[in-house]
Amino acid sequence: MNRLRAAAASLAVVSVTLALPTTAMAQSGAAERRALAQATELQRSGNMAEARAVLERYLDQEPTSASALVQLAQLVTIQGRPGDVLVRAERAVANGNPSPMLRQVWIRALTDAGQSDSALAAAQAWTLEQPGSTLAHGEVAEVLVRRGDMAAAVAALVSGRDATGDPTVFAQELGDLYARLGDPAATAREWVVVLGWGDAGVAAVETRLQAPGANYEILVGALRTELVDGLKIFTVLRSAAFLANRLVEEEWSLEIAETIAERVPGDTRVAFLRDYAADARNHDLNRNAAWAAEQLGSDSADPDESLRWRRLAAEWSLAAGDGPGATSAFEAIVREAPAGSEAHRMATSSLFSQRVRENPVAAEPLLRSFTRQYRDAEEDRAKMGVTLSAEWIRRGDLERAGRALDLSGQIAVDPTANALIEGQRGWLALYSGRPKTALGHLEVAALIPVGEPQARTEAIASVDAIGRADSTEAAIVGEALFAVERGDTQAAVGTVTNALARIPASEARPALLILIAQRLERSGHLASAATVYRAVVQSFPQAPEAAPGMLALARSLAGKEPSAARQWLKKLILDHPSSALAPVARRLLSELEGRVPSSSSSS
Amino acid sequence: MRARVRFLSSRVPLLAAAVLGLVWAPSARAQVLLIPMDGSQANHLRAYGLVFNAVQRGARAEWLLNYRYGSFLLPDGASVRQQAAIMGVTTESLDGGRLASLRADIENSNMDAVPLEKAPRIAVYTPPNSSPWDDAVTMALEYAGIEYDRVWDPEVLSGILEDYDWLHLHHEDFTGQYSKFYLAYAGAPWLQEEVSRNEGVAAEFGYSNVPALKKAVARRIADYVRQGGFLFAMCTATETLELALAAHSADIAAAFADGSPPAADASDQMDWDATLAFGRAELVLDATISAFSDIDGHQVNTPWRRSLASFELFDFSAKIDPVPSMLTQSHERVLADFYGLTTSFRRDRVKPGVTVLAEEPGSGITKYLHGSLGDGSFTFLGGHDPEDPQHLIGDQPTDLELHRHSAGYRLILNNVLYPAAKKKALRT
């Protein structure tokens, strides 16, 4: 087994392999092709001895058939008897004027048979005979690698490079040997040559960096240094940028791309930036893609093309989580695009979304302008109005929240827009302590069968709960929900445990509590949500609303207290067997008990 | 050692059996729960777990062969109802009148009622670090809530199998060639770990190489069956167990596994008298081809792989052939086929005396086999995962919650439950 591993490793180091050259294939006669095909078929069906016999019979007739000899060499290696091909290889070479492939088979057979001195002598003789042959120098190195003498193998390849007069030959092999010798700077030097080959070079270097056991950090560091220090041609830098993308090295990739963009003029620069943007996107490097798109947008003399690139820059900045970058791109579009155009509308709306959270006052003029220019875009206007309103609610200003809805203008026909505005007016009324008014608005929102499912579900649930509650109870719930929206969870939970607890519970109480708990959960306040859910399941265990409460509690406990979570799930299944949540509880129970793979597992 | 066992012949009339006290016959007033296994069942797979665990706790259950596709009877009680609710298993309460009518139906049709009285102790042969999701049987056991122990080579060689009634093997390669993935996955960490683990155990127990270790383990497993054990094997464990047994005097392993090439005439050196189910097979000795012999009718990892079709379960007489009948209880008779490193078994490689339970009609290819060896019995099911037609290394695990009615997984669970059926001890 170790022998096999060593052989595999040596073949990986020096890539002058036993692959069948196409010229040899072309020269093969019909008899040879038949023999090779027959041997392949026998080998595939497991009949190794017969396959070998077929090849040997053919070689008895045609002892210099390189293809048959190569196939025999592969077969005897699988059989664990690599030296068995030696006699035939020697005979073939002795026939005079051997092909390079025959020489390779012979030299490797010598090594396999433990005669590495003879193998080395044969390879060196070949180099003397044909000093310009890369195969010959490669074989010398191959023998030395298999003897474990890496330094001598390096010397052989460097000498071969000099002899051939091509400074790029053996770059990959030398890179590998330097890496094995622990010389990252020399490795990087060779890899820079390899990168000059274009895409093939990128793949070769990436494979080596990602190989198990590769000293990634050190080798990447050396490569970065080598690229900075040396005066590199465009092809190398371009390959290095794409290599950095493949390695998801965001900063390094951008650094190289900026260097290229500075140094390369005209169409070459544009072509590079286009390719780079696409490649960066393919590797989820959105910030880099956005940078390239921004460059292309600035460079382009064509207004339409410029806008297209700026839109992409904004979109990719958002995908990268780069708010300022996106804002800057949207501002540029709003400046450059004609008012009333699709690009202008989209950019204004997006810029509004970017601004609203940072500064709702600064977002108001944008909404006003949008409402004036795009009266037909009712859904967009409604969404923007609700977004601004929600931001004012979050800041505790219900009056400005109401005015924000007015800024979005009249909604004439669009039912989705109407549902959005009515829903928001309903919540505002509830937060302001006017449950009857709230009910009227929320009923309209709940009745319109469009819009976001979660918002509509909440509207329907709240209409049902508020409709059954008495007005004092509903007003207190509105107060609690407002506190949740402001992020004041203490006040929200305090309202539940104090104000609500002091008044008699209507039949709607569990449903009202669930509304509060779900809001807390959606806002990420899981501990507070759990407190309210617990109040539901403990005070109203038989109410239908206890089932979602139990499920939510189980979910919140699943990580740290799985046995408690399992108890809640079993209680849900047994106490509410016909609840739509019972199958969900069984699923979660199975996951907690390890009986099915977790929904979040990936293997 | 376990006593030799035989299933109670169903030729004994039901009434006579009841008089002898061999069949659980609740009084007319007692309530019983029917666990239906037809389309009304909400979770077919967990139903097996419910019954298994009830039997394990001492309840006496009955398996109603061919009655509503292999339903079960359990004594009614708060505990079992609660467990059924939690597991999502459908139950029906039967009063005395309905029970009597049910028994009359069974008496007058190709049906039978088999008592289930002792839950078998289950061992699954699997490497220590494997995940439950690597193996269809452990997935089924986990999902159904049936307890099992893991055993591997050290435990088998130490004689631990005597403690178990039922043993499952899955995709182990008993030829010791790491499923012949050695060349294709040479650099993969999981394979390197597998090689290292196997070589460590071989060295620890004094075997010169891994193929020699696996041959010894295979012989222990065959002995376990001879002495009364129930063996259930799937996928490549079926074929390679047989090859390891037949190759006791032949080198069939590639050089990468044992340092020497396989014997050129290895196929001729095989001793098929030593095997359980197969004979007269030709070996695949090429180390680069991930196939072992021509026993497998599909050869999934070869250029000449056969396409998947479907396989059909045979019908058996519940009263005359209760064991094959138990093993083929299902609400579907035609099932979609699924690949494994060993997917199926060529009929002309199956020994006479082995019962074919399912085959691909008209193809000469069988899927599901059952037979006896000494005092024990074995069942072989080809393929890797009944709900994943072409499982690849690294694929997502199958989620049985999405396959609660899987007929393929029912076949596996039939095997788990059938050793619980009432047995009559006989002297050897």
Note the pLDDT tens digit of each residue in B366-406.
999 999 999 999 999 999 999 988 877 667 778 899 999 99
Cβ distance B394 to A47 less than 8 Å, yes or no, reads no
- All residues of chain A having their beta carbon less than 8 Å from the beta carbon of residue B287 are 78
Cβ distance A596 to B143 less than 8 Å, yes or no, reads yes
B104, pLDDT greater than 90: yes
Cβ distance B255 to A44 less than 8 Å, yes or no, reads no
As a whole-number percent, the residues of chain A with pLDDT over 90 amount to 64
DSSP per-residue letters across A366-408:
HHHHHHHH-TT-HHHHHHHHHHHHHHHHHTT-HHHHHHHHHHT
Q: What is the pLDDT of residues A400-453, one digit of tens each?
A: 999 999 999 888 888 989 999 999 999 999 999 999 999 999 999 988 877 778
For residue B29, name the pLDDT band (cuts at 50, 70, 90). very low
Cβ distance B85 to A590 less than 8 Å, yes or no, reads no
A496, pLDDT greater than 90: no
The answer to whether the Cα torsion of A466, A471, A476, A482 is positive or negative is positive
Specify the pLDDT at position A209: 93
Asked if A484 contacts A492 with a C-beta cutoff of 8 angstroms, the reply is: yes
What is the least distance, in Å, from the CA of A52 to any CA of chain B? 11
Q: What is the pLDDT of residues A136-170, one digit of tens each?
A: 999 999 999 999 999 999 999 999 999 999 988 99
Partner residue opposite B289 with nearest CB, options A8, A46, A596: A46
Specify the pLDDT at position A448: 83
Cβ distance A597 to B284 less than 8 Å, yes or no, reads no
Asked if B87 contacts B49 with a C-beta cutoff of 8 angstroms, the reply is: yes
Specify the pLDDT at position B136: 92
For chain B positions 282-301, those within 8 Å of chain A (CB to CB) are 282-289, 291
The angle that helices A184-195 and A234-246 make with each other, rounded to 10 degrees, is 110
Asked if B305 contacts B46 with a C-beta cutoff of 8 angstroms, the reply is: no
What is the least distance, in Å, from the CA of A580 to any CA of chain B? 13
A599, pLDDT greater than 70: no
Mean pLDDT confidence for B83-112: 95
Determine the Cα angle at A501 with ends A498 and A505, to 5°. Answer: 150
Hey, how many other C-beta atoms are within 10 angstroms of the C-beta on A587?
17
Cβ distance B285 to A46 less than 8 Å, yes or no, reads yes
| Residue located via tokens 């990468």 | B256
Cβ distance A597 to B145 less than 8 Å, yes or no, reads no
B101, pLDDT greater than 80: yes
Which ipTM value was assigned to this complex? Answer: 0.71
Helix (H) or strand (E) holding A124: helix A116-129
**Bridge partner residues of B169 (DSSP):** B125, B233
- All residues of chain B having their beta carbon less than 8 Å from the beta carbon of residue A570 are 86
Q: What is the pLDDT of residues A531-587, one digit of tens each?
A: 999 999 999 999 999 999 999 999 999 989 999 999 999 999 999 999 999 999 999
Q: Of how many residues is chain B composed?
A: 428
For residue A28, name the pLDDT band (cuts at 50, 70, 90). low
**Bridge partner residues of B360 (DSSP):** B365
Nearest CA in chain A to B84: A574
Cβ distance A43 to B85 less than 8 Å, yes or no, reads no
Mean pLDDT confidence for A350-362: 91
Cβ distance A49 to B394 less than 8 Å, yes or no, reads no
| B303: contact with A, CB 8 A cutoff | yes
- All residues of chain B having their beta carbon less than 8 Å from the beta carbon of residue A6 are none
B132, pLDDT greater than 80: no
User: Strand B112-116 and strand B61-65: pairing?
Assistant: antiparallel
Cα dihedral A353, A359, A365, A367 in deg (nearest 10) = 30
As a whole-number percent, the residues of chain A with pLDDT over 70 amount to 94
Cβ distance A603 to B189 less than 8 Å, yes or no, reads no
| B259: contact with A, CB 8 A cutoff | yes
Q: What is the pLDDT of residues B201-253, one digit of tens each?
A: 999 999 999 999 999 999 999 999 999 999 999 999 999 999 999 999 999 99
Distance of alpha carbon A475 from alpha carbon A499, whole angstroms: 10
Task: Tell which of B239, B401, B402, B405 to mutate to test the A interface (max A CBs under 10 Å).
Answer: B401
Asked if A404 contacts A352 with a C-beta cutoff of 8 angstroms, the reply is: no
More confident residue, A236 or B428: A236
Q: At A599, is the secondary structure helix, strand, or coil? A: coil
Task: Tell which of A3, A4, A76 to mutate to test the B interface (max B CBs under 10 Å).
Answer: A4
Average pLDDT, chain A: 88
Specify the pLDDT at position A19: 35
Partner residue opposite A79 with nearest CB, options B186, B255, B399: B255
The angle that helices A360-373 and A342-358 make with each other, rounded to 10 degrees, is 160
Specify the pLDDT at position B397: 79
Cα dihedral A72, A75, A79, A80 in deg (nearest 10) = 70
Cβ distance B189 to A212 less than 8 Å, yes or no, reads yes
Asked if A317 contacts A287 with a C-beta cutoff of 8 angstroms, the reply is: yes
Q: What is the pLDDT of residues B332-377, one digit of tens each?
A: 999 999 999 999 999 999 999 999 999 999 999 999 999 999 999 9
A523, pLDDT greater than 50: yes
CA nearest A544: which of A460, A465, A472?
A465
Partner residue opposite A1 with nearest CB, options B88, B259, B291: B259
- All residues of chain A having their beta carbon less than 8 Å from the beta carbon of residue B397 are 597, 601, 603
What is the least distance, in Å, from the CA of A506 to any CA of chain B? 32
Q: What is the pLDDT of residues A51-105, one digit of tens each?
A: 899 999 999 988 888 889 989 988 887 777 777 889 899 888 887 778 888 899 8
Distance of alpha carbon A106 from alpha carbon A92, whole angstroms: 8
What residues of A are in the B interface, CB distance below 8 Å? 1, 4-5, 8, 43-49, 78-81, 212, 570, 573-574, 577, 582-583, 586-587, 589-590, 593-597, 601-603
